Amino acid sequence: MGAVVTPAAQREFAFNRSDFEKVRKTLMSQAGIRLADSKDGMVYSRLARRLRALNMDSFNEYLAYVASSTEEQEQFVNALTTNLTSFFREPHHFDALARYLHEHPETHTIWCAASSTGEEPYSIAMVVAEVYGSYKPPVNIVASDIDSNVLATAQRGVYPANSIEKLSNSRKQQFFHRGTGNNAGKVKVVDELRNMVTFKKINLQQADWGFRREVNVIFCRNVLIYFDKPTQLKLLARMVDLLPADGMYVAGHSENFNLQTDLVRPMGKTLYQPVK
C-alpha cells in the first residue's frame, strides 16, 4: 500500500516537525507502533486524505478530533499501517508449514498475526487443505490484523487475477473462481477455503488476544520491526508463551531473533522453536 509523497512546497495543508511528532506520539499510544524519522512524507500523504474527507483545515484540528473519536482513531491507525503482502510470499515458510503438519498431524491452531488483505492466511489455508486432503481439517486458522479495512478485503477474498499468476495451475483451479462479465480480471477465493479462516481484529498491544488454548504455529512476519526493542521482546515472549514446546514461530525476512536464546531457538531460515 504505497503512498505518493507530496513535496513540502506543494502541500495543501501546513505540516511541520511538531505535527509529525504529534502523529508519532498518537500512533505509539494507539497501536504501539513507532514511525521512523523518514516517514514524514508518508504520514502527510495518508492523513491529508482524512483532512479532506472530514473538511478540516489543519493537522492540529485533525489530531484533536482523533483524540475525541474512537471511530476516527480506527481510521487513523488504518491509514498509517502498511499492508504489503502476496500469495505464498517467502515460499520456504509454506514448505516448512507443510512439513510441520505432516510431522504434527494433531496441530489444532495456526495464528496468522498480521493477515493484511488475506493473501497470507489463504496461503496457509491452501497448504492445510492440501496436507489433510480436506476443506474441513482438524485445524483452526485464525487471521488477525489491527486494520479493519484490510480485514474486510480479506473476508471478501476477491483479488486481481494477476495476483495468482505465480501459483500452480492446480492451485488456481482448486482454490479460485475466475470472474466473468463485470468481474473479469478478478478472482475469488472459493467459499470452502474462505470458511477455513476466522478473521479477527486484534491489536497486538491489547492485554487479551482471545486464545484459550495452545497455538501450534504462529506466523508473525515483518510485524515486530514496527515496534521498539522492548515492545518487540515483550510481544515475542507473549507469543512464545502460547506455543507448545514443539511449536513453530515464523518470522519475516527483516527479523532476526537468534540472540533471544531465552525465548527461541532457530529451526530454519527465520523459523523458530520456543524454549520451554
145 a catalytic residue? yes
> How far is 62 from 72, CA to CA, in rounded Å?
9
Tell me the C-alpha to C-alpha distance, in Å, between residue 248 and each of 134, 139, 169, 266: 22, 15, 29, 10
Give the Cα separation of 144 and 63 in Å (integer).
Answer: 27
Task: Show the CA angle centred on residue 143, arms to residues 140 and 149, nearest 5°.
Answer: 150
In the numeric block, which cell numbers belong to residue 157?
477474498
- Which of 24, 40, 46, 50 is catalytic? The answer is 46
Query: Residue 223 is which amino acid?
Result: V
Number of other CB atoms surrounding residue 70 within 10 Å: 7
228 as an active site residue: the answer is no
In the set 19, 40, 145, 147, the catalytic residue is 145
Cell numbers for 109: 491452531
* Rounded distance between C-alpha atoms, residue 96 and residue 272, angstroms: 11
How large is the angle between the packed helices 70-80 and 148-156, nearest 10 degrees? 70
Give residue 56's identity as a one-letter amino acid code: M
Active site residues: 46, 145
